[in-house]
Amino acid sequence: MSGKTPGSFKMNTAVKKNNSEHGGAGVKFLIAMTILVSVIHAGLNYIPVAYSAGTFKQEMDTSVVQALAMPGKVHPAEMVKNRIMKAARDEDLPPDLFLDVKPAGNIIQARAVYTKQVALLPFGIWNYAYHFDHTATPSGFLVKDQK
């Protein structure tokens, strides 16, 4: 043995450094964070609009079903229109909401259409036009009894 202890071998390997490999982690982190912040921003703006539309749709469906149970002296079409307009104010829908409430045989139909702008990307880079178009008609056993 020439004075070397086992396990103390020194490797003579050269480590090459490429200039293209420097700083890659910071750039990747910045890109990932930008994408994450953009997705969170889009979700925080889109989800309330979609939830509001779902709630409004449910209120429309409920109103036309309740119109079947109205007594004869009350005008069911007016009652449905008033309830739907109140729901539109509660859900902060655009003022250019198109609402058409009309009798169709023994039932009342209600149709609502509106478009609401949703800022999906920050600083107004991209706005999405959320379009709502729903026609509410009563269905189920109540309608079968009316015919």
Give 78-91 pLDDT, tens digit per residue.
999 999 999 999 99
**Contact of 79 with 33, CB cutoff 8 Å:** no
Per-residue model confidence (pLDDT) at position 114: 96
Name the residue with higher pLDDT: 101 or 143: 101
pLDDT digits (tens, 9 = 90+) for 95-139: 999 999 998 888 889 999 999 999 998 888 899 999 999 999 987
Q: Higher confidence at residue 58 or residue 105?
A: 58
CA distances from 24 to 3, 17, 34, 44, 132 (A): 44, 13, 16, 30, 44
Please give the Cα distance from 143 to 117 (Å, whole number).
36
Q: pTM, whole model, 2 decimals? A: 0.75
